[in-house]
Structures are given as structure tokens and as C-alpha cells.
Structure 1
């Protein structure tokens, strides 16, 4: 049996390969809390959904490029690699010659591989930049709203997201954490690039041992583990902003706010105070006003505000809260609440964004930038906010607002996607299917037959991380990992670099793309270039590549355990100003206000979302669906792995609902149910629990989309919640994703034999005779 080191977005591990090819995995010995997702690796590696050979949609092969509503509904024809590459190269060349480089969309999302070289997004964007340019995307589904808002408020999003106060500082100094959205333990094993030592579970245990109190503000009790002392405030989903404003109002009217800090370190407090006390619009944003909106009693609101003012308090907001309509508001209002307390910049106090949303938030690992593959500049200026992909494809030429600019969607004729699964990330999948029907050609690189691969025209089989060599490590990791190849590639799968190098050769820039290096040559080059930079900066002395590769890892120098967000700014706001127009925290932004956006005013405000409990829309669909991150996979990755499969109910994704809501619908634990609204429907297995607010149901994202043929709006047989969520932007400021909430109804399945789950098997695959290469090559 051989053992090889590697890493993943869910952490470093060792791969053991038996002589017969059986694979087992074991955690890195330094990891105090290994991810349960490791158990999904062996089953997914050689699953029947692996793509063995290049395949072309039968209709595209017969009729050539053009829009088609048959994407996702036709069989595929397996072809030879050379023929597939000739087809892709010819189509890229045709589209740039006829429509320009902006007609190519370089679709990619950064979760494909933890490797620093075989990073699908970097490989694809490097290729397309050298090809002459492409339309790309900005920001992320996870943080698309905050990444646009925070620069207006504090000058730099990265300062809040990556330099947050450390867990040791919080454990030592904080007495009360008010956690809007909780600190969900299920998310802390995941970080882009991975972490070798998962520290957050231990830090949560340390909070409990230190007696730190936590106010959990979430409709889901499981958004915080049972260890720390906890008061649960089961807020109605989408109403956190109303609660935050009422808490800040209590501080204001009871004189508990820190006026000296507000005058010295913020701007716009007087404007916000006028909104809070009602002088601006006649509506005081007090506890009595907020209570019927958010479902928390007025006395509990006032009591919490007084507790916050009486002790060292950290206000933290999960990323989930900004993945909703008007998602800017809870982030901005949470920051304003922390500012009113006057504890921003004090150890253990102030504001945090993302504790429990990602494993590296608050961690104490290395702050070094790890080796990376340069993408080079994109000669094309066109881009979209990433959550606007369906609008891009459906509405070429249409104008839209984004962060104070007026932009226009280009006319996309070819989608080239490598890394990521938009049929997981995106909302309103019926609409996305219509959008994917519009381009002339869709090319997808994929290891598995995901819904995105099934909606492609040309599918190229790609290796997994265990089937190639790489360098691995994530933000605030403690180790750089030598990712050795553990198994041979599945079928005829190739890595993205090999595929793109072959396309570049056909298109006339092969030497520029590879720079004459093999993948191993790139690893040596990237590592040694990085090591030389560290030595020159006095930041570390990595061993030569050969020694590093033989050892399997190198321990990165770690930063100090104690870290406080905005500590230097607080100490000297004049000498260390923020990168905002005022140099201060902007509780009112003149820049945002000048945009006159009805869905994002110039200060945090209550904007009633179109889908929430207690509204007219809830009369037809009276349950509020929370579509949060899964505990058994990474987004849709490893959905065919053992942890994800073992968590299914009735063969489908599990939906959690309160016993009272289940009883009202004659639904029992384990029943098959239909969840529906006007956008679509899905089947799921019922799981009853009282650890959520009545009226709220939870269906995690990531079940592979499995539309039942002939259903419109679509019925997903497997339980993907994004058939139910709305494809609407958070606001015209950020154009962020709003996939966290949707109003739905649930009924016990009574339609006879339910449609089968088909996504755990490949689509129909045909074999083609040898075909000549197309003539249109440069």
C-alpha cells in the first residue's frame, strides 16, 4: 500500500492506495478536527458519473452551432480527443472572427481544485486572455453584496473579511457575542485551498470553557453548536436589519451609545440617528416597531441592547445574511450597531463578518501569499457581476446598474466553462435553463456528469486533484502541501492545463501559454519563484523544491495569535485613516446616497423584502425556505460521496420542518414531500425538528439538479432548492446573489410512483465513427 500527501478545500489528508486500486483516506496528523467531508472522496473518485471520454451533444454534432432548447435533453456522442479539440478550437476561432472576443464568456468559479497551478479559473482565464480576451465575471455568489458595499463603508472589504479579529483575542477579551446568522460549525471545515489544521471547532470549545455568552440570532438553532452558553433569538428570516436598527435605537434613546467614538471615528451618525428616532420619516425604529417584523418581543430587544452596552461585545454577521434582497442592509446595520457601542478596534469588541461562514475567518495561520499561476491582463473590458449570468445570456444589449456605473450586457455566443457548477450556484434554474439555450455553443470541462455538463454542447473530461500533481494550500493555512498524484486518471480524462495547451497550440499561441514548461516544470518554477521572494523579504526560508516535494509539505511561518480588527485606526483615526472619502467609518455614505438607488439608500435602512413571513405573498406560499450551505458536501461537490448519500431521506435531499408545520400538512418524518412555488418545485424527504422557528423550512443547496422531463416550471426529482429561489439582484448597487430565502408551500407527495433520481447515472452516451477535423482552423 502506498501513501501520498494531498490537500483539498476541506483540508489536507493522506491517500492510501492498495495494490488492487482501492483508495482510502486519512486526515493530516496535525489536524485536530478533520473534516467529515473526507469520507466522500473515495466514493466520488470512480463514481459512475465520472466522464470517461470527450462527448458532444448529438444535436450540435448534427446541426452545428446555434441556440438550442434541447440542451440538457439530448444524448451525447463520445468522440476522440483530437476531434473534440478541433471542434472547440474551430468554434472559438469562428466566434472571435464573427462577433469579437467579448462574445466569449469565460465562466469559472474558484472551487474546482485546491491546487495552486491546476486552478481551473486561473488556467481558463490565462488561456482566454492570451486568446485575445473574453467577457468575465466579478465577485462571488458567497460575498457579491459585501464586496461592493464594504469599500464604501470602511474603504476595504478585505480588511473586514481577511483581517478579522482572531479567535484567541475573542476568547480572551469578549464577554458577549451577538451572532446574527450564528456561527455555523458545518461551514468551518471549508476554505478555498484548504487549511491543514482546522482550528475553529477548538476555538468554539474554548469560548464555552471561558464562559463567553452568545446571543444566537437566527431562525435555525443549529447555526451554533450546543457548547457555549447561548440565548436563542429565533428571528424571522430576512428581518435581521429591523432588529439591528431597534437595538441601535435603544442605545440611542437610553444614552448607551458612545458619542465620543462616533464623533472621532465615524461620519453620518446624526443622519442615521434621525432615521432611527423617526425625525426623518415619522417612524421611530424602536423595539415596538421591530417586534412584529422580526418576531422578537420588545422587552427581549431592549434587554439585549442593554447587555451589549454593559460588557465587551462582538457583533458578527454571517455571509448568509447578505445573500438576500437588500443584503447590503444587515451588513451595514450590523457595523452601525457595533459603532454605536463604541467598541470597534478594542480587543474582543467591535464587528466581524463571516465567523462560521468559512474556516479561515478568525484563524491564526500564515498570512503569506502562496504560489499562484499568473492569469495576465484581459484585453477585453467587459465583465458581469457573477450572479447575473442568466441576465447576460437572456438580455444582450440591456443596460444595468453596478456600483455607480451604467453597464450593458454583451452578446455572448460561446460559453467556455471550466471549474464550477452554475446549476448549483445560480437561482431560478428554470430561467437558467432558458438562458443556457441561447448561446451558439457551450463548452464545459468537468470530471462528473453534473447538470452543467449535461447542458453543454461539448464536454471535456477533466482529472480530479488526486489524478495530478500540484501545490496546495489556502488562506491562513499552516502548511504548503506537495500534492502528489495518488491514482491514474479516470478513463481518458486530462487536466485543464493539457486541454488548454492543446487548444492554444491549434489557435497559434501554444508556446506563449505553456512557456515551454510541463506541469511539473510549472510547479518547480512557481515554487522557486515564491521561495526566492520569501527569502528576499525575510519572510521565510523554504527548502529547495526537491526536498519540499520529498517531504510532502513545508510548515509556513505563522503570524501572532492576537489580532484586532481596526485597532490601528481606532488608536489614530487621523494618522491611520480608512480608505473612505471621509477617512472614517461611513454610517451615511454621500457616495451611495448620490446614486439615488431605491433599493440601497445612503445609510442602513429597513427595506421590506418581497418574500418574507407575514406578507401578502406568504398567503399562497406560507413557509419561508432557508437554502443554506450543506453539512455533507462542499456546495455540490461530493454529492455522490458517502456522507452526502447517507444523509438523503426517501432517496432525495432532506428538508427540515417544524413538527407543527408538518402536522398542519399531514407530513410525517421520512415522508416524500413536494416543495413548490410559482418558479418551480422539487421533491425532498421530510425531517422533522424543533430546532428551527415555526414557519421556516431548511433545504440545503448542492443536491445535483435533476429536472423531470416535460415539467415546466421544472420539477427537480432530487431536491435542489434553486428551482425555488428568485434570480433577482440584492440591489442595483451590488447586483449580488439572493439565493438564501424563498417563500414556498409543502405537501406530502400523493402523485403515485415518484419520478426516479437519475443524476447518479450518466446521460445516454452514443459512439461516433471517426470524423474529419473541421476546416475552419487558423
Structure 2
């Protein structure tokens, strides 16, 4: 009888053991110390299915024939030709050398965006950048699609992005000390099940239950009532999307109007308060920002806003802001306005008081104190980057100027794109505009385990193993454990690990020794773990087991900080603990932004009308689209897994809308609908939901883009066929995915099953 092996592993949604019998996965068990494991772990077996996996190196037929002179409109439709690994590595290295020598290394865009694996060694972005740095350099990106505008404004106003990176008040202090909790966006296990780099314990639910036990007043400000579990007993304030900054400012203005703002805190701990106060009182523009003003913009009740302002003053109050709020036009403003409101109240630095920003599982959890394991990317030989969400602009506008954090830079002339472990045809906005831009580079290389929509639009495709086919370690700055990620099954087809692929290409480029440093996979894992272990011992006196003991056990605890109150020392003595801002204090009125004079990011927190919102809706069938993280997968990963499929209907994503809206438009529950605007169109399955605010439609992210015929209609339900590709502002340049109006209508025609259509298209293009 075969013996079942239990193989420890970890993914972005948590730790688990893979049960393997005769080389096949037969089950998955959650990490025994995780109180609330994610259901997504049960989809891991899908990685071992060959249907969507890239099984050998492939080259687009047209590119192989004509190289940089090929017809680039054939990407996505041309057939692929199988090649050997030696030929593939030589082709990629040859293009890196050709572009670098002919146009300069800035013309190579290292576009990797690293959610493919939570492993810290086979981390595709880090390894790609390490190789390209050795080869002469590349253009990279700064910030992330998840959060860009928020960190930019907080780095300016607080001196760091710690408040949105996991080092604001930990949830244990909120659970014990907060008396009024105002949640802007969400506090949901749906998003908290995930963490970049993995996590050991999901703690959000436990802290929310403690809040409920204590009878804390929780106000959920969101167009979706289920953005917090119903058992928390939160009041639902169904705000008009993209107007959260107006509510925050109205609450602050109501407090100032009553003369109850904390003048001492503003004087000691803040700079530029006079600018913000002049805006609130109307001295600046003649409009008083109070509860009545906010009610008109947000669609909420004036008296409720006024009452909440009073209660936030009278009780220990905490404001939490989801990352999603800054993924919108003027996305800097809700993060800055929340900080302004918290400063007006004056409870920043007190246990259970102030403001915090976050969505992921490690945000608010005890955070790691020791150095996280990470493969070094080495020194960058050139300084060339773009804000992460501006890739289409970069490809369409070589040489054009852009601004970022007050600096003016220029887009490079991109001739080559190397994308490893990412899928921009999932996470970028206005995919039809991206498709146009995608024809501009001479060569596109995609390295990935799966035939994503991006891989199908590449010139050279390199098959990487999934994390379950190699050894790695997981652990990050917001993790309570470091985990062994042991190989569970043999590599599928001719796929190779990211490290082996980059080692081959580095060898072709003559920098192989510098890339590997003479180490193999297990040697590197030992070095990375021991680096973290020695740091924990030297700086913190925390003893972790040696590598061999860790590898045998499958996990080790990381030293963490709990019961943390953000800015407590600064509040006590602002001079002794000055912030690295322009004033050394919290910036509520910015001298830098005043000098820059950006209309879309003024010198103080402000309500600025978005590019698209319900205040501009032109027809009764026009809706605000909310595209949030699905519960059954992470982004587009494991879209065909059981947890993801269980949340689809009729082979498509569910689009949730209020029953009153559905009845008005004669949209039956379970029927197919078309969502469209001037940018594109997609299909989804309508689901009636009382938990959705009228005028809002909810379509999760992550469906694999599946155009139908020549119409451009996506039949899978990818919301980014609809979202605008505009920056949050001239200062932050973040993604604005949540700024989107769409029309919704019944779809009477017949469309094929999205899964079947994707498989048929892939078979025609990439027969192996």
C-alpha cells in the first residue's frame, strides 16, 4: 500500500500540508495553528492539472520568422512553435543583448509583478531584476496596483508608508481599547485571507468577535453591506462610491464648526493645520464643509453624520481605511482626509485610537521584527522606472514626461518587455487600450507556469514550475512564521524553476557566476533563512532553530510586535521623535504640494469630483462598477479551481446588483447580462443582492480575459475591460480601477461557456 506523504507548503492565502500519494496530490490539510484557514488551499491541486499549464518553451511563429520586424498585431492569435530550452535561452539572451546595445538598457522593461508564488527565493520579480541588473540594467516600476496613491501621500504626510504597510495600530489594541470603530471600505475575511509572501495565522475574525463581545459601535461605510461579517452587528452606511473623502471631511468640518477640534494636538503634532481648517470652515472657498455638505455628496443622512462626529469625539475612536479607496481618481484624498479627521479628533498615538489603512491578512496582525528572507536584487546600474500602473502610457508615449512625487521624469523607448510571474491582462485597466500598446514593443517574453492571457500574447514563452514543483521558503514583514515550501510533485512537462531559467539566461549573457554565486536551490534557501535567523538573534535576542531543524519541522516562529500603538512615542514628544516629513510633524497642509500647484492633488486634504461617479450618471441603467477581490481565488490565480468555480454561475463571474435595480431593468436572477461603456464590454451572470447599494454593480476581479469572436466582447466577466486607465493624480500616479461607470442590460444572444471558449482558443494557438 502506498504511503501518503504530508508535504509542508505555503501560498499567499496561508500555510498547509499537501497530501501526496504515488506522485499525485490527494488532499490538502490546513496549518494546524491557523484558526481560520482559507478555502482557497483546497484549489492547490489545480496547479498539477496540465490543461492550462505551459509545458515546454514556445515561440510565436511570426516572431520566429521575422524577429523584431514581425507583425506584432499577431500576438494573441499567431500559433506557437516549440523550441528547446537551449534555443529559448539563447533567443532571450540575444534580445536582451541586442536591445541593450542598440537602444540602451532602459529600453528593456522588467515588468514582473510577483504574485505567482509566495516563495522568497523563486520570486520571479526579484530573480528577473537580479539578472537584468547584472546584464546592464532595465526599467522597472515603483509601488503596486493594490496600493500606490496611498503610500505616496502617506510618505509625504507621515514620513513613511508604515500606516498602510502593516505597522499602524495592531488589531489586538483595537479589539481591546476602541469604543467607536468607523470602517471605510471593508474589514473582511475575504481580503484578509491573503498576504503577499504568505502567513501562518488568520486573526481578523478573532479580533472582530472580540469587538462584538465588547459591544463596540462599528459603522461600515461602504456600498456593500457584506464588506464586514454580519455577526459583527455593524451599522451599514451605503455610501455613494468614491465619496468617502467627502464624508471624512464633513465629519472633521462638523467638529470644527462646533469648536471642539483638538487644538493642542494640531499645534504640537501637525503642520499646515491652518490650510486644512480654512478649507473646512469655508474661509478658503466660501463653502462650509459640514454634515449637510457631506450628506449631499455621499447620499447619507445629515443628522447621522453629525451624531457620529460627536460620538467620535466622546469615545476612543479608530478609523480604518481599505486599500481599495485609493485605487480611484484622486485616490490620495481619502487616505489624507482620514488622517486629517483623526488629527482633528486628536486621538492619534492613543491605544485603540487614530487611523490605519489596510486590507491584507498581515495588516493589523502582529508584524515581523526580524529581517525577512529575500534574494538580493543587487545594485541597479541605471535609474529608470515608471509608476506601476502607467505601463500603457509608457508603451504608447515613448519620451513623454510624467510626474511622480513632485519629480518630472520621462518614459523610456521600450523595445523589449520581460514579464515573469504576472498577468497584466488581469490587473491592468482598460485592457483594449493595453492591447493597442502591447503591439509597440519589438519583443515580449513571458515566463509563467500557465497560459494566461498575457502568455498567449507573448513572442517567447518560458514554462516555469509552480511552487509545488520546487523547494522554497515563505515569510515576509507582516508574517508571524517562516515556512518551508517543500516540493510536492515532479515538474510538469519540461517546465523549470524560475531560478534555473534565469541561471540559463544569465549564463548565455556571461553573468551566470554572478547570478548564482555558485549556489544551487537548497544552498540559497539555507543562506536566506540563516540571514533572517542571525538578524533575529543579533538585534532582538530571539532564537530561531537552525536551518536543518526548521526544514525538518516545516515552519519556525518569527519575532513579532503585538499590542502596537502607532505614533505613541511621537505623540508623547514630537520633537524627540520627529517624523521624516517636511516639517517633522504630521502634514495637513503641504508646502511642497502648494509649490507644485497640482489641480488634482492640492496642498491639503480635499474632496475632488472623480472622473466618473454616480454624481455624473447620465441614465437610469448606468451603474458604478465595484471590482473587488473574489473570495474563491487570489486575483486571477487558480481561476479554474473548485473554490473559484463555486462562486461562478453559468460559467461566468457573478455580477451582483440590488433587486430594485434588477427589477427596473427586467434583469432576472441568474440571467446573462452585458456590462459596457465606451472602453469595452463583458458578460456576467446577474445575481440579485440586497447587500449591494442601489446604483452599484459588483463584479470581482480575476476572470481570464476571453474575447468572443471579433466583437471584442469578453464573455468571462473581466472588469478591467471596462475600467479607465487614468492616474490617481499627478503626484501619486496610482491605478484608478474603482473610478468606473458602466451600463447594464439583459443579454439575449447565446454565448459559449467561458472556460470552454478559453480552452478552444488555447488549443488552436498553442497546440503542443
* Superposition TM-score, scaled by structure 2 size: 0.97
Cα distance in structure 2, aligned partners of 1:291 and 1:371: 48
| 1:342 positional shift | 0.7
The residue number in structure 1 matching 2:682 is 682
Distance in 2 (alpha carbons) for counterparts of 1:361 and 1:202: 14
8 A Cα contact 1:160 1:565, kept in partner: no
CA distance in 1, matches of 2:195, 2:164: 16
Give the structure 2 partner of residue 619 of structure 1. Answer: 619
1:332 is paired with a residue whose SS is helix
Q: Pick closer, same or farther for the CA change 1:533–1:304 going to 2, 3 Å.
A: closer
Query: Hey, what does 1:759 align to over in structure 2?
Result: 758
2:369 aligned residue (352, 367, 370): 367
Cα 1:702/1:756, change in 2 over 3 Å? closer
State the distance in 2 between where 1:20 and 1:342 align: 60
Q: Which secondary structure state, in structure 1, belongs to the residue aligned with residue 72 of structure 2?
A: coil
What is residue 576 of structure 2 aligned with on the other side? 575
Shift of 1:600: 0.3
Q: Deviations over 1:181-240 (max 9, x none)?
A: 121220111111111111111111111112111111011101111122311111000111
TM-score using structure 1 length: 0.96
> Of residues 14, 29, 34 in structure 2, which corresponds to 1:31?
34
Structure-2 separation of matches of 1:608 and 1:488: 54
How many angstroms apart in 1 are the aligned matches of 2:459 and 2:766?
Answer: 14
- Runs of 4+, deviation exceeding 4 Å: 753-757, 765-768
Aligned partners of 1:754, 1:555: CA distance in 2, in Å? 49
Which residue, out of 31, 48, 59, partners 1:56? 59
1:661 has 2:661 as partner: yes
Tell me whether 1:297 sits opposite 2:301 in the alignment.
yes
Question: 2:636 is matched with which residue?
Answer: 636
| C-alpha distance in structure 1 between counterparts of 2:284 and 2:534, whole Å | 59
CA drift of 1:38 comes to: 0.6
Hey, what does 1:587 align to over in structure 2?
Answer: 588
Q: Which of 107, 110, 115 lines up with 1:106 in the alignment?
A: 110
Report SS of the residue matched to 2:530.
helix
1:178 deviates by 0.8
Q: 1:328 to 1:767 in 2, by over 3 A?
A: closer
Shift of 1:760: 4.5
After superposition, the Cα gap between the structure-2 partners of 1:709 and 1:259, relative to the gap in structure 1 and judged at 3 Å, is: same
Give me the whole-angstrom Cα distance separating, in 1, the residues matched to 2:591 and 2:648: 50
Go from structure 1 to structure 2 and tell me whether the alpha carbon gap of 1:635 and 1:582 turns closer, same or farther (over 3 Å shift). same
In structure 2, the residue matched to 1:673 is: 673
Superposition pairs of residues 418-457 of structure 1, within 5 angstroms:
418-457=420-459
1:483 aligned partner: 485
Q: Aligned partners of 1:516, 1:47: CA distance in 2, in Å?
A: 33
Contact kept in structure 2, 1:165 and 1:564, CA below 8 Å: yes
C-alpha displacement of 1:755:
7.0
Over residues 673-705 of structure 1, what are the superposed CA-to-partner deviations in whole Å (9 max), with x where a residue is unaligned? 110000000000111101011000100111111
Measure how far apart 1:290 and its partner are.
Answer: 2.1
Q: CA deviation at 1:410?
A: 0.5
Match of 2:726 in 1: 728
SS at match of 2:274: helix
For residues 630-673 of structure 1, give each alpha carbon's deviation from its aligned partner in whole angstroms, at most 9, with x where no partner exists: 11111111111111112111210110001011111111111011
Within-5 A mapping of 1:729-748: 729-748=727-746
Compared CA separation, residues 316 and 11, structure 1 to 2 (3 A): same
Q: Tell me the number of residue pairs that the alignment of Structure 1 and Structure 2 aligns.
A: 762
Shift in Å, 1:160? 4.6
In 2, Cα distance between equivalents of 1:109 and 1:35: 23
* 2:21 paired residue among 2, 18, 36: 18
Q: 1:511 offset after TM fit, Å?
A: 1.0
Which residue is equivalent to 1:693? 693
Measured in 2, the distance between the counterparts of 1:232 and 1:596 equals 37
Aligned pair 1:395/2:397, yes or no? Answer: yes
TM-aligned CA deviation for residue 17 of structure 1? 0.5
How do residues 137-176 of structure 1 correspond to structure 2 at under 5 angstroms?
137-176=141-180
- Worse-superposed segment, 606-615 or 717-726: 606-615
Matches of 1:144 and 1:760 in 2, distance apart? Answer: 35
Q: Matched residues in 1 for 2:541 and 2:439: separation?
A: 51
Residues 1:753 and 1:529: Cα distance change in structure 2 (over 3 Å): closer
- More divergent stretch after superposition (59-68 vs 133-142): 59-68
Written as runs of structure 1 = structure 2, the 5 A alignment for 1:219-234 is 219-234=223-238
Q: Label 1:620 to 1:392 Cα distance change in 2 as closer, same or farther (>3 A).
A: farther
Q: CA deviation at 1:706?
A: 1.1
Question: How do 1:139-538 residues align onto structure 2 when only pairs under 5 Å count?
Answer: 139-354=143-358, 357-538=359-540
User: By how many angstroms is 1:475 displaced?
Assistant: 2.8
Shift in Å at residue 488 of structure 1? 0.4
Alpha carbons of 1:400 and 1:766: their partners in 2 closer, same or farther (altered >3 Å)? closer
Q: Please name the residue that 1:775 is paired with.
A: none
Q: 1:323 to 1:766 in 2, by over 3 A?
A: closer
CA separation in 2, counterparts of 1:531 and 1:435? 45
Deviations 1:222-273 (A, max 9, x none): 1111122311111000111111111111101112211111111112222211
Q: Say whether the 8 Å CA contact 2:371–2:535 is kept in structure 1.
A: no
SS at match of 1:653: strand
Matches within 5 A, 1:543-558: 543-558=545-560
Query: Contact 2:179–2:315 at 8 Å: present in 1 too?
Result: yes
Match of 1:772 in 2: none
Instruction: Summarize deviations over 1:25-49 as a string: whole Å, max 9, x none.
Output: 1101111100111121112331410
Distance 2:314 2:574 in 1: 25
> Are the aligned partners of 1:429 and 1:722 in contact in 2 as well (CA < 8 Å)?
yes
Q: Contact (CA 8 Å) 1:236, 1:295: kept in 2 or not?
A: yes
Question: CA contact under 8 A between 1:212 and 1:229: conserved in structure 2?
Answer: no
C-alpha separation between the residues in 1 aligned to 2:557 and 2:350? 31
Shift in Å, 1:577: 1.1
Which residue in 2 is equivalent to 1:9? 12
Residue pair 2:10, 2:485 contacting (<8 A) in 1 also: yes
Query: Which is further off, 471-480 or 594-603?
Result: 471-480
- Measured against aligned partners, the alpha-carbon deviations of 1:601-641 in whole angstroms (never above 9, x if no partner) come to 000111111211131x5338621111111111111111111
- Post-superposition CA distance 1:88-140 (Å, at most 9, x none): 11111111121111110001112121111111111000000001100110011
Larger deviation, residues 544-553 vs 647-656:
544-553
CA distance in 2 between partners of 1:211 and 1:394 (Å): 54
Q: In 1, Cα distance between the equivalents of 2:136 and 2:604?
A: 42
Whether the aligned pair in 1 keeps the contact of 2:151 and 2:164 (CA below 8 Å) is no
Q: Distance in 2 between matches of 1:476 and 1:504?
A: 32
- Per-residue CA deviation, residues 294-314 of structure 1 (Å, 9 max, x unaligned), is 101211111111111111100
Residue pair 1:75, 1:763 contacting (<8 A) in 2 also = no
**9-18 or 529-538, which moves further after superposition?**
529-538
Q: Does the CA contact (< 8 Å) of 1:627 and 1:741 recur in 2?
A: no
Whole-angstrom distance in 1 between the partners of 2:584 and 2:479: 32
| Residue range with higher mean Cα deviation, 518-527 or 661-670 | 518-527
